[in-house]
Amino acid sequence: MTTPVSLNLHYAEPFYGEHEWQQLQPAVSEAHRLLHEGTGAGSDFLGWMDLPVNDDQEERTRLENAAAHIRAHADVLLVIGIGGSSLGSKAVISALTHSFHAYLEDKDTPDIIFLGEHLGSDYTAELFDALADKRVYVNVISKSGTTTEPAIAFRFVKSWLEDTCGKEEAARRIYATTDREKGALKTLAHAEGYETFVVPDDVGGRYSVFSPVGLLPIAVAGISISDLLAGGAEARHAFAAEGLRHNPAYQYAAFRYLMYQKGKYIELLSTYEPKLTDFSEWWKQLYGESEGKDGKGLFPASVKFTTDLHSMGQYIQEGRRHLFETVLHIGTSTKEIKIPDMSGNEDGLNYLAGERLHDVNEKAYQGTLLAHTDGNVPNAIVGIERLDAYSLGALIYFFEKACALSGYLLGVNPFDQPGVESYKQNMFALLGKPGYEKQRAELEKRLD
């Protein structure tokens, strides 16, 4: 079957035996059954599996109308969210829009700025300096409305926007993506008159790219959400087979599990395309939050080549052999740029004159692939032919499907994140939140 996403394990095959691969088949089949029958851990959060095809047409129409309105009237869209509420849309937008959009004079879409991802004072204060004289719209994304970082950011933005353009106009410019019926943000949106979109009950944040969580900012950026969803739908069909032989998503999950069993505890996602830097951040959350529990799981890290070959390359080549690489490979570039000739040839590179920069980058990829495998670093290659909305939609679904199966192979719930609450509880206590007085005293003693 031809699939929109390819997997090449040729450079990883020396690191495991065929018998090991075959022995995994029963576990993969069982994980597939748990996933597709909805009988595994976290089965209340399997709505992501059908998001590309289960489109709410009424909400889709409202979403596209809202995106068109924002594109027509806004200079800036502020997207307020954290984790799964922002990483997916940021990944798609940075991958598919002009790398220097903010510097373009002639553009028909607003600049999109992400906020609520941290508690940095300088960054937040300086943002409002940059927004002076800008026509600003807001998409605040939170199922509960009480997550600390985005909730604080929204307080700042709401106050600034109301002071700048008045309460009624501010309400027209704010769009809330939140719970269908309940929660602090839903209550506020109803009281203030914000237009709202729904965070599905059965979809966790890190699997929510194909829901309004991701689709509204993506549509505002001028990216075809129809093409993105079509790619996801094609991947849903392509990666539905039970067995390893015909399912690259399951092959990738099985490969990762074999590496983990052999003591390769760090997975490096490497890319040779700077536009995929934010995609790597989305991938890290997807796998880190899904697998890292019960004392188990690979540590997901990312590197950007060739940049990091001049910083992390030495360690990857000759450091501890506890890592493997998954390489994101793009077959063709969308823009052609050729290396110019230089009279005098001072840098000695005239032998490359007339070559496409993409082709030079390709040779760097091939040379690194061989060097790293020679250095006993297993390499898997996940490829798409080109960087467009359809292919990226397929790639997103590929990683989501593989991640769900990986979690079940590990014996963990790939759809919860209980450990994330620990820092929150400590922070609430140290900030003096009512009801946390005892915990505060205990924590302050530990910090002395």
> Nearest-CA neighbor of 176 among 161, 187, 165, 160?
187
Q: Could you tell me how many helices (H) and strands (E) the chain has, helices first?
A: 17, 10
Residue 110 per-residue DSSP state: -
From CA 90, how far away is CA 112, in angstroms rounded?
9
**Domain final residue, candidates 175, 198, 228:** 228
Cβ atoms of 413 and 293 within 8 Å: the answer is: yes
Residues 206, 257 within the same domain: no
From CA 146, how far away is CA 367, in angstroms rounded?
49
Q: What DSSP letter does each residue of 345-356 carry, written as one string?
A: -TTS-GGGTT-B
pLDDT band for position 442 (cuts 50, 70, 90): confident
Residues 296, 273 within the same domain: yes
Q: Would you state the pLDDT for residue 2?
A: 62
If DSSP codes are grouped into helix, strand and coil, which group holds residue 266? strand
Residues 382, 397 within the same domain: yes
Residues 367, 247 within the same domain: yes
pLDDT band for position 31 (cuts 50, 70, 90): very high
Q: Which residues pair with 303 in a beta bridge?
A: 270
Residues 19, 89 within the same domain: no
Residue 217 lies in a domain: yes
Q: Would you state the pLDDT for residue 146?
A: 87
pLDDT in tens, 255-270: 999 999 999 999 999 9
Residue 447 lies in a domain: no
> Nearest-CA neighbor of 396 among 211, 180, 182, 147?
211
Kindly report the average pLDDT of the chain as a whole number.
94
Neighbours of 136 (CB within 10 A): 22
Residues 60, 192 within the same domain: yes
Residues 250, 107 within the same domain: no
- On the CB side of 419, CA atoms within 13 Å amount to 13
pLDDT higher than 90, residue 76: yes
Q: Tell me how many domains the chain contains.
A: 2
Active site residue 293: no
- On the CB side of 123, CA atoms within 13 Å amount to 9
Q: Would you state the pLDDT for residue 40?
A: 94
pLDDT band for position 429 (cuts 50, 70, 90): confident
Active site residue 182: no
Neighbours of 160 (CB within 10 A): 16
Structure token pair of residue 128:
């409002």
Residues 181, 255 within the same domain: no
pLDDT in tens, 98-128: 999 999 998 999 999 999 999 899 999 999 9
Cβ atoms of 11 and 381 within 8 Å: the answer is: yes
pLDDT higher than 80, residue 423: no
Say which of 424, 437, 442, 444 is annotated catalytic: 424
Structure token pair of residue 138:
């807001």
Q: E strands along 294-422, which residues? A: 299-304, 323-330, 379-384
**Domain final residue, candidates 174, 206, 228:** 228
pLDDT in tens, 396-412: 999 999 999 999 999 99
Q: Would you state the pLDDT for residue 1?
A: 46
pLDDT higher than 60, residue 300: yes
Region 133-144 average pLDDT: 95
Residues 138, 248 within the same domain: no
pLDDT band for position 448 (cuts 50, 70, 90): confident
Give the CATH number for residue 91: 3.40.50.10490
The reported pTM is 0.95
Cβ atoms of 5 and 396 within 8 Å: the answer is: no
Residues 371, 239 within the same domain: yes
pLDDT higher than 80, residue 315: yes
Residues 336, 189 within the same domain: no
From CA 43, how far away is CA 259, in angstroms rounded?
27
Structure token pair of residue 261:
């069993």
Residues 107, 141 within the same domain: yes
From CA 53, how far away is CA 64, in angstroms rounded?
17
Tell me whether strands 6-8 and 379-384 are parallel, antiparallel or unpaired.
Answer: antiparallel
Structure token pair of residue 103:
């510097």
Say which of 149, 267, 289, 291 is annotated catalytic: 289
Q: Domain span at residue 83? A: 47-228
pLDDT higher than 50, residue 293: yes
- Nearby residues of 154 by Cβ (< 8 Å), 6 or more positions away: 80, 116, 138, 140
Region 142-169 average pLDDT: 94
